[in-house]
Amino acid sequence: MLNIAVCVSGGGTNLQAILDGIEQGEITNTRVAAVISNNPGAYALERAENHGIEGVCISPKQFPDRESFNRAFLEKLDSYQVDLVVLAGFLVVLPESMIQKYRNRIINIHPSLIPSFCGTGYYGLKVHEGALARGVKVTGATVHFVDEGTDTGPIILQQPVMVEQEDTPETLQRRVMEQAEWKILPRAIDLIARGKVRVEDGKVVILEQPKRRKL
Ligand code: GAR
């Protein structure tokens, strides 16, 4: 059984996709041990509660300095003894000690096709504003392992989404969620739970043939 913690900051629609995926059997052999938020008002905490999952809030604002927050955050996370940490819209920079300790055991969902529209300053709606400002015709989402850089870790899955002429950042964000994020994040967790994801030379190898679509 893959024991996971999901870290969130906001609405938690990706968390919801994970909870639904587990309930509907699309994610196998997986259990959410805890949902951790840095934001006490995050609706994601309510989603966790609705599913009988422990939701905890731990915010840098509760601590005198970043160092003590980092220590407390890692201690809290360690207490759940998870196999995988899922960043589902978590807008806090992770302590380096955590990245080292959980090497290739932290994944993140990012709402663009990395390496486009990623890195410092690209989060949430800003990613879609950037895509529309550049006039790209295709965007999408990426699930990747987290390393010391910002959005630089090994890519696990990507899903493209077409940009439409009349898109606003909000409509594009919604379509990227529906057509990409809520699909590839549960799929990546299921692949990891089934032992189908390996990192070799800094790249991900998926040990399973993708399902072929009929032409
Ligand atoms: C999602 O679009 C996720 O990809 C993005 O924040 C949103 C959270 O929504 N994450 C980032 O931009 C990380 N760089 P949610 O709370 O409804 O899942």
Q: Does residue 142 carry a pLDDT above 80?
A: yes
Mutational test site, ligand 1, from 13, 14, 93, 161, max ligand atoms within 8 Å of CB: 14
128 is known as an active-site residue:
no
Question: What distance, in Å, lies between the first and last C-alpha atoms of the chain?
Answer: 36
**So where are the chain's domains?**
2-199
Q: Tell me how far CA of residue 62 lies from CA of 9, 70, 71, 195, in angstroms.
A: 15, 11, 13, 37
Pairwise CA distance, residues 187 & 178, whole Å:
14
Q: Is 7 in the pocket of ligand 1 (CB under 6 A)?
A: no
Q: pLDDT digits over 52-75, tens only? A: 999 999 999 999 999 999 999 999
Q: pLDDT digits over 147-197, tens only? A: 999 999 999 999 999 999 999 999 999 999 999 999 999 999 999 999 999
CB half-sphere exposure, 146, CA atoms < 13 A: 24
Q: Is 186 in the pocket of ligand 1 (CB under 6 A)?
A: no
Q: Is 111 in the pocket of ligand 1 (CB under 6 A)?
A: yes
Give the whole-number percent of the chain exceeding pLDDT 70. Answer: 98
What CATH class does 2-199 carry? alpha beta
Ligand 1 atom 7 nearest Cα: 89
Q: Is the pTM of this model over 0.85?
A: yes
The amino acid that residue 98 corresponds to is: M
Bridge-partner residues for 159, per DSSP?
141
Q: Are 198 and 207 in contact (CB under 8 A)?
A: yes
